[in-house]
Amino acid sequence: MSEQHWILTAHCPSRLGTVDAVTGLLYQQEQYIDDLQSFDDRSHQHFFIRAQFRPEKQFDEESFRTAFAPRAEKFGMEWSLTPSNLKFKVVIMVSKFDHCLNDLLYRYRIGQLPIEIPAIISNHPDLKPLADWHNIPYFHLPITAETKPQQEAEVWKIICENNADLVVLARYMQVLSEDMCEKLSGKAINIHHSLLPGFKGARPYHQAYEKGVKLVGATAHYVNTDLDEGPIITQGIEPVDHTYYPEDLTAKGRDIECVTLARAVQYHIERRVFPYGNRCVVFSD
């Protein structure tokens, strides 16, 4: 018996028989479902499903695709089929803060994140030693208001040349242009503190301290043309109290950003996220 697992995801307008369209064929083709999640969004009359399965006999991917295609067409499904061990090619963008990059590289190094990292891009040279230690090419691309179009053209060239499946902004402290956001739609994840829309700009945790906040956290979302307001994948939050000074809030925020960003990347590569309009349907593990 093969232990190779496959992931089938689909979404379509809500109609009777959508679950059977997926599970019925898996049964007919002797595919054992070991994880199944579905959700019907009544507000938008839209259905989402994710099935992880393992073949009970030899699996023919092309034959399965051929058999499933007419079922999907009948329900107007958008769908994907991928092996669970597929390693996404992830390009990471970063500025000077190293905590999220360091955390992602550690999870990559120990195999917790089954990804390939063909390139790290930064507008500063500071984190090159970290990339060198992991034998990952590091591209230092400085940016100014005047050189932004040229810099982003170089960034896009690196992304394309490496056939990146995903771009992760691991505290990349530059605002992407509208054109770049559109190019990266659905394939770029950003992380920031979740005190927004309050406490914008510099020193947000100092601002939060002055206001006496009792919760701090982080938000991971897909990039779109609305600054820091793309479809949210996941969030993390922790309670704080009067004993937390600005430096304590900052440290707590760094920890939450690392965990939240890693979780968002994990959900994306496991095909658990369905960006839909301005929001995401997320099947957590």
Contacts of 232 (CB under 8 A, 6+ apart): 219, 220, 221, 279, 280
Beta-bridge mates of residue 192: 219
Nearest to 4 by CA among 49, 34, 25, 27: 34
Beta-bridge mates of residue 82: 7
Measure CA 158 to chain center: 19
Q: Which of 228, 248, 255, 285 is catalytic?
A: 228
Beta-bridge mates of residue 116: 89
Confirm if 39 and 47 have CB atoms less than 8 A apart.
yes
Contacts of 11 (CB under 8 A, 6+ apart): 46, 47, 48, 49, 77, 78, 79, 274, 276, 281
Concerning whether 126 is annotated as a catalytic residue, the answer is no
Q: Which residues are catalytic?
A: 228
